Amino acid sequence: MKKISRRNTIKFGLLGGLAGLLGVGSSVARILTIPTPEEVEGPFYPLSDQADKDADLTKIIGRKGVAEGQHILVGGHVRDLQGQSIEDVTIEVWQANANGRYRHPHETNKAPLDPDFQGWAILRADKSGVFQFKTVLPGAYPATKDWTRPPHIHLKIHNPGHPTLITQMYFPDNPLNKTDLLFRNKTATEQSAMVARKVGQQGNLTIYEYNIVLSI
Ligand SMILES: [Fe+2]
């Protein structure tokens, strides 16, 4: 039997808590009716490998510290257009740190790096299509002189045998969403599908639900 490490025990504990908060398996979870809208990949898709790809971006293996900023848990379901769970989906996530800075060779923002922030992860949805990850609330950052990107998380969803979906997840009630040159080009329905929903608080951890619908 595979030995379960303390780190994995913590992860399973989070998943249990998340499933309860999301009402997984009940009518509480939000069911979307349109496919998750596509969005551009952007310039900061990870280029180099790293040792730590796990679902906790607030810690890096071998380091004692934790990432700066508001820690958050993001989780949800991957479903098809009929509402059926999809298993065996791999989800890559990447984002700026709490200061709005990517650790990436194309980055020009001079905001501080965070040596304790993992930056990106590779997630796998479980047999019920449920996924979750722990991270920090990303900072806003300047895309151009006149354009500030609101906090967002990039996702690339791989479903074997189907096209890859690239999208971005946004946060509710952020005033920068309205002026974002990408987000404001979406319809209201699309915007609603791209914004996570705040569903709970566990101590200092804010919990968001973000469901993904693939157009199959
Ligand atoms: Fe970005």
Task: Write out the DSSP string of 80-132.
Answer: -TTS-B--S-EEEEE---TTS---STT----SPP-TT---EEEEE--TTSEEE
Task: Supply the pLDDT for residue 11.
Answer: 43
Instruction: Answer yes or no: pTM beyond 0.85.
Output: yes
Residue with tokens 């908060």: 21
Task: Supply the pLDDT for residue 97.
Answer: 98
Residue with tokens 């101590």: 203
Task: Supply the pLDDT for residue 7.
Answer: 43
Distance, CA 42 to ligand 1 centroid (Å)?
6
Task: Supply the pLDDT for residue 10.
Answer: 39
Cβ-contact 124, 157 below 8 angstroms: no
Cβ neighbours for 191, distance < 8 A, ≥ 6 positions apart = 170, 177, 183
Strand-pairing partners, residue 131, are 76
Quote the CA–CA distance of 94 and 118 in Å, as a whole number.
Answer: 9
Quote the tokens at residue 212: 């993904």
Q: Which CATH number fits domain 6-213: 3.40.50.880, 3.30.70.790, 2.60.130.10, 3.30.1330.10?
A: 2.60.130.10
The pLDDT profile of the chain, 216 residues, written as one tens digit per residue, is 334 344 433 344 454 555 555 554 444 455 557 999 999 999 999 999 999 999 999 999 999 999 999 999 999 999 999 999 999 899 999 999 999 999 999 999 999 999 999 999 999 999 999 999 999 999 999 999 999 999 999 999 999 999 999 999 999 999 999 999 999 999 999 999 999 999 999 999 999 999 999 999
Distance, CA 96 to ligand 1 centroid (Å)?
7
Task: Supply the pLDDT for residue 4.
Answer: 36
Quote the CA–CA distance of 203 and 75 in Å, as a whole number.
Answer: 17
Quote the CA–CA distance of 4 and 208 in Å, as a whole number.
Answer: 26
Residue with tokens 């200092």: 204
Rounded to 5 degrees, what angle do the CA atoms 179, 181, 183 make?
Answer: 80
In the chain, alpha helices (H): 6-22, 176-179, 188-194
Q: Which residues have beta carbons under 5 A from ligand 1 (an ion)?
A: 42
Task: Supply the pLDDT for residue 171.
Answer: 98
Distance, CA 157 to ligand 1 centroid (Å)?
16
Distance, CA 153 to ligand 1 centroid (Å)?
7
Rounded to 5 degrees, what angle do the CA atoms 87, 35, 153 make?
Answer: 80
Distance, CA 102 to ligand 1 centroid (Å)?
8
Task: Supply the pLDDT for residue 27.
Answer: 45
Distance, CA 139 to ligand 1 centroid (Å)?
10
Active site residues: 102, 141, 149, 152, 154
